[in-house]
Amino acid sequence: MGRGAKKQGMETKPSEKPEKLPVIAPQSTLVEDLTEVIELKSDELSNENSLSVVPTTTAYTMATMKEVLTVSQTAAGLMPVPFLQDAIGVALKIIQICEDASAVEQKVRNLQERISCLMIDILHHVTPEVEEENNQLLKGIEEDIKQLLRTLETINEDLQKISDQNRWIQAIYKELNLSTLEDCMDRLSVAVERFTLSNDLHDSKLLHELLGRLSSLANKIDAMHEDMKHRAIKVDVTADKVDDIHIKVNNIQKVLSELKRSGTRSDTLARQDMPLKPEIFHGRDDLVNDIAQLLLQEETSRVCIIGPGGMGKTSVSLAVVESPPIQERFPDGNLIWVPCIEATSATLFLEILYSQLQIPTGDKQLTLAKIISELAASKEPRLIMLDNFETPWNTPGGHQKIGDIIRKLAKLSHVAILVTMRGNHPPCDKAIKWQSKDLKATDEAACLRIYHDIYPGSENDPDVVGLLAALGHMPFAVKLVANLGLDSKWNAKRSLEEWLTLGPDLFDLNEAEENMNRSIRPSVESNLVKRNPNALTLLAILSLLPAGTSEQNLSLWAPALTIGSAIATLSQAALLVEKKRENSVSPVLFVVPVVQSFMQQKNRIAEEVRTQIHLSCCEYILSHACRVHDPTFPQKWKALAAEDTNIQSILFSSPTPQRNVPSHRTLEALVAFSWHRCDTKPSLEIANHVVTVAKASGVVRYIASAVWCLGKTYFQLSDFRLSCDHLQEARQLFNTFPPDEIELRRLGGQCGIDLVNAARFEYSSEISRWDFALTVAEECAALSDDLLHGRGLVALGFMMCQHEAWNAALPRLNRAKTMLKDPLDLAVVCQVISWVDSQRPRFQFDCAEDAIQEAWKHAELTDSPFIQAQISLDFCTILFSRDKDAEAWKYADIALMKASYTGDQYTAGEALQLMGYGYIRKGDYENAYSAYEAAYKKYSPANDIDLARCCKYMGEIDSLRGLDPAKQIGVHRRFRPRPYTRRLGPLTVRTSISVWRPLHSRN
């Protein structure tokens, strides 16, 4: 017996029961033993009760493999292969642990099957049938078996730790256990790769003999299975057709075909012709010319095109090769295209090089030296194009083995090299001076040309631009979607709807080679990514963040993730894209839209990841939630704005069954985010959605806050009627809370103040505005809160100005000014005081200008675009009234810019009217007319007064064209658009065109 047999005999455990194992003769083949075991199992099952559960064919296969390995453990002592018996023993322990596991069954079964098949394969090759011929092989295999044994022992230790856990611990730490199993699978893969590369076991004709025997066994197992069903024995049919042994045999056949190819010498590989560049190719001309010029000079002739799949790297390289300068320098025969997509090992990469270079093999031995010698034999310039080089580069050991090959090629100065690969940096970039080109998406104009060239009927489709944006302007995706639209006669809107629903799976029915999933899978499902569980998790997380995020914020979205190695892996696989962000040194990390869509289909993102991202999103919002009066608002709203798109995608996407009923934390986050948008960039869609979710929850405090926010959002967007309706509803809800709910009562007071401000503009409201303003001011005073009391007085002062009670308003405003400390509150108080000063009998414009200037200083300390827009309008009006036109224009521009940002069409219209007046004062009637025309387009059809005023002014401007620019234009001030009018008194009145400002503030 060999050393392994002695060691096994000393360490046998009772559970292994070696005394019951039959001893097989050395001449027996393992496949024959397998047949005998199957027959034995069949006999045993025939005698079982008909109600017993019969294993599936997969279970039979695994059971028989285990039996064969158990028998072979003893028989291995007769084989001259050291450590083999030990390896079988450890493999059996792993299989036993796998059988007992329950927490992570599918992964365990995969590991169990791989180890079983590996050991069966090894045993079949070392059966002592041809000892004379295989003596040398058996001696050389010792070290590989020894290394395999060490790998199996570490896997066994890890699995034993999982097995020793209680069931409830297994459930809690399922993800951790899955990661451990993935690591086990990776270690096994590396061991198998090393083993097979070293010994070339799969190149043996015995493997094909084994396949034939397995096929025979498959027929026998199926016959047995049918016989059991015929006898009415209950069969487990929960497994799919995947359990059919024929499918497994077919899978083995496919593997053998690949292995046979990898063992075939290059004289049997057909040389592949270089394809042509695509018929439709736009947006890359400058890049193609740049690369061509680099390849023409020896010192810059190592060019690597990197980037994600689908960006058109191969298309660009083919366009380079077809360019006239390259064709002239590298005539036919000197352009060598090397398709590396199937070069899954260093050996196969060399074979493809041999084939494409058409190097005679002679004694059939393929060596790099022969390739180098062939290339060096002639000093004629040659260009080698290594396409899809990421395949050999990312194989186990590729960086060393493949790196050695390309470094030696790069030493040939007359050989130019053009590489395309998925990745973030070229191969061997420390040893080779590459000219690296990071290929980005094409621009919108180029994508439009591609789409329209393929689908000519789409030229006038307005939705094509949105469709291209959803595809991330990726040329390959644009091409596929355009072809789909052409074939199906879909317009862009329909194509976009299907894309948003199905993603890349939209093209799965396409049997052509060009399929988007086939382009994405090589990166997402590569061994490089699979070997790093953190990378897979990060890929899933970034696929849920459509706008990407900074590395700093990644720790907020995924606090438990090891980010560094994950980023490096995804970058290497060209799945991670970096984009510079304005005013920030931290780039945005994201995955391209087509990969995001791919990941979100077919449950590729685990529900645990989705839940974690949802929780992280809520915590992120609530940690930055504050209203505009908060001193930390300038910093916090920018943090939320940076993640706005991601937050909307996560919070407002369709809920999963696990999140149909939102938690209180989710509701708080929804309401907080709705207020954030109300204070910065109002969205009726968001506000209405939050109201719907809040009402579905039935929790009154969330409903009241959401309805209040909706009312304030309508106010910010100048829809005062609907604003009043929702603010009244919210106020009534707040009034239902008991008096001891102080905080909720204070919120109700602020809601009342907002209703007073909205009521000043809604003249059809049934609210008695003066009386209501007094009531709200008294309620706020009763809450013993200086902040609310002061704001209530300001609201009352607004209303008094509305009724021209200037003398009554001023003392209340001055009192409020002493009570309020926040810059935004002070800005509003000073703004209203400026109105009072400008309306008092002596028209105290000096005081009005001082007051509005103070208001602007306070407004600048806030980050509220609304208060800044309103105060800049008033500042502009007063400055025009005092003939300070240059300064007035500055504030007109600010008002228009701020209003445009927030989407406040009404305020934007007012700013444009002021600009129109400013142009008239310059005598520039053409621009004045355009300004009033633009203002007209800003107002809603219901705003008949402003629409009529713009029309009137445009008509009067027409009558002024051609007059002396020095003609003086009067100033006409109004503080209410309806129904009252008050003329301040003209500086000089020569026409009725006027500058006016309605009395309103949105704060």
DSSP state for residue 550 in the 8-state scheme: E
Q: If you average pLDDT over residues 272-276, what whole number do you get?
A: 87
- 686 and 769 housed in the same domain: yes
pLDDT number for residue 484: 87
pLDDT number for residue 986: 25
- 477 and 334 housed in the same domain: no
CB 856 within 8 A of CB 872: yes
- pLDDT of 303 above 80: yes
621 burial via Cβ count (<10 Å: 0-12, 13-18, 19+): buried
Q: If you average pLDDT over residues 85-112, what whole number do you get?
A: 63
pLDDT number for residue 46: 38
- pLDDT of 88 above 50: yes
pLDDT number for residue 126: 57
- 463 and 505 housed in the same domain: yes
pLDDT tens, residue by residue, 633-685: 888 988 899 899 999 999 887 555 455 678 899 999 999 999 999 999 899 99
CB 706 within 8 A of CB 749: no
pLDDT number for residue 138: 53
pLDDT tens, residue by residue, 410-449: 999 999 999 999 888 899 989 999 999 999 888 999 999 9
d(CA 324, CA 289): 10
Q: How large a percentage of the chain has pLDDT more than 90?
A: 29
- pLDDT of 374 above 60: yes
Measured between alpha carbons, how far is residue 180 from residues 410, 570, 580, 753, 853 in Å?
A: 41, 20, 36, 59, 66
State phi, psi for 412 to the nearest 5 degrees.
Answer: -85, 105
- 391 and 453 housed in the same domain: no
> Which one is predicted more confidently, 516 or 928?
928
Residue 396 lies in a domain: yes
Residue 601 lies in a domain: no
- 798 and 878 housed in the same domain: no
Q: What would the two tokens of residue 408 be?
A: 């030696």
CB 325 within 8 A of CB 293: yes
- 145 and 194 housed in the same domain: yes
Q: How many CA atoms lie within 13 A of 626 on its CB side?
A: 16
- pLDDT of 759 above 50: yes
- pLDDT of 514 above 70: no
Q: What would the two tokens of residue 618 be?
A: 């809520």
Q: Which of 556, 568, 574, 560 is nearest to 532 (CA)?
A: 568
Q: How confident is the model at residue 291 (pLDDT cuts 50, 70, 90)?
A: very high
Residue 743 lies in a domain: yes
Q: If you average pLDDT over residues 537-554, what whole number do you get?
A: 89
| Domain of residue 289, residue span | 284-438
Cα 880 to the center of its chain, rounded Å: 50
Q: Are strands 302-306 and 435-438 parallel, antiparallel or unpaired?
A: parallel
801 CB-near residues (< 8 Å, 6+ apart): 809, 832, 835, 836, 839, 975, 999
pLDDT number for residue 963: 55
> Which one is predicted more confidently, 185 or 565?
565
Q: If you average pLDDT over residues 373-380, what whole number do you get?
A: 88
pLDDT number for residue 69: 63
- pLDDT of 196 above 70: no
Q: Which of 393, 392, 368, 372 is nearest to 382 (CA)?
A: 372
What CATH number does residue 380 fall under?
Answer: 3.40.50.300
Q: How confident is the model at residue 789 (pLDDT cuts 50, 70, 90)?
A: very high
DSSP state for residue 1001 in the 8-state scheme: -
Residue 755 lies in a domain: yes
pLDDT number for residue 826: 93
Q: How confident is the model at residue 836 (pLDDT cuts 50, 70, 90)?
A: confident
- pLDDT of 223 above 80: no
CB 84 within 8 A of CB 4: yes
pLDDT tens, residue by residue, 596-619: 888 888 888 888 899 889 999 999
pLDDT number for residue 748: 92
pLDDT number for residue 12: 37
pLDDT number for residue 243: 41
pLDDT number for residue 690: 95
Which of 14-18, 542-546, 689-693 bottoms out in mean pLDDT, i.e. has the lowest? 14-18
Residue type, 33: D
Which of 78-92, 322-336, 901-915 bottoms out in mean pLDDT, i.e. has the lowest? 78-92
CB 101 within 8 A of CB 175: no
pLDDT number for residue 753: 92
- pLDDT of 5 above 60: no
Residue 655 lies in a domain: yes
- 378 and 456 housed in the same domain: no
Residue 848 lies in a domain: no
Q: DSSP assignment of 331-372, as one string? A: -TTSEEEEE-TT--SHHHHHHHHHHHHT---SSS---HHHHH
CB 502 within 8 A of CB 339: no
Q: If you average pLDDT over residues 964-970, what whole number do you get?
A: 46
Q: What would the two tokens of residue 361 be?
A: 């093999």
Domain endpoint, select from 514, 530, 558: 514
CB 98 within 8 A of CB 108: yes
- 448 and 477 housed in the same domain: yes
- 429 and 481 housed in the same domain: no
pLDDT number for residue 525: 81
Residue 269 lies in a domain: no
- 195 and 294 housed in the same domain: no
Domain endpoint, select from 196, 212, 228: 212
pLDDT number for residue 242: 33
d(CA 769, CA 796): 10
- 430 and 451 housed in the same domain: no
Q: What share of the chain is helix, strand, coil (3-state, %, to 5)?
A: 65, 5, 30
Q: What would the two tokens of residue 116 be?
A: 């079983």
Q: How confident is the model at residue 314 (pLDDT cuts 50, 70, 90)?
A: very high
> Which one is predicted more confidently, 365 or 806?
806
Q: Which of 182-196, 238-252, 652-666, 940-954 is predicted most confidently?
A: 940-954
pLDDT tens, residue by residue, 682-695: 999 999 999 999 99
- pLDDT of 1000 above 50: no
d(CA 523, CA 400): 21
- pLDDT of 292 above 90: yes
487 burial via Cβ count (<10 Å: 0-12, 13-18, 19+): exposed
pLDDT number for residue 423: 84
- pLDDT of 381 above 90: yes
Total H helices, total E strands in the chain: 46, 8
- pLDDT of 48 above 70: no
* Whole-number average pLDDT of the chain: 75
Residue 239 lies in a domain: no
Q: How confident is the model at residue 453 (pLDDT cuts 50, 70, 90)?
A: very high
Residue type, 718: S
Domain endpoint, select from 498, 514, 530: 514
- pLDDT of 722 above 90: yes
Q: How confident is the model at residue 22 (pLDDT cuts 50, 70, 90)?
A: very low
- pLDDT of 97 above 60: yes
- 687 and 801 housed in the same domain: yes
Peptide bond into 979 cis (omega under 30): yes
What CATH number does residue 729 fall under?
Answer: 1.25.40.10
User: How many domains, in total, are found in the chain?
Assistant: 5
Which of 156-165, 553-562, 934-943 bottoms out in mean pLDDT, i.e. has the lowest? 156-165
Place of tokens 């008294």: 778
- pLDDT of 272 above 80: yes
Q: How large a percentage of the chain has pLDDT more than 70?
A: 68
DSSP state for residue 243 in the 8-state scheme: G
pLDDT tens, residue by residue, 764-779: 554 577 788 888 888 8
Q: How confident is the model at residue 830 (pLDDT cuts 50, 70, 90)?
A: very high
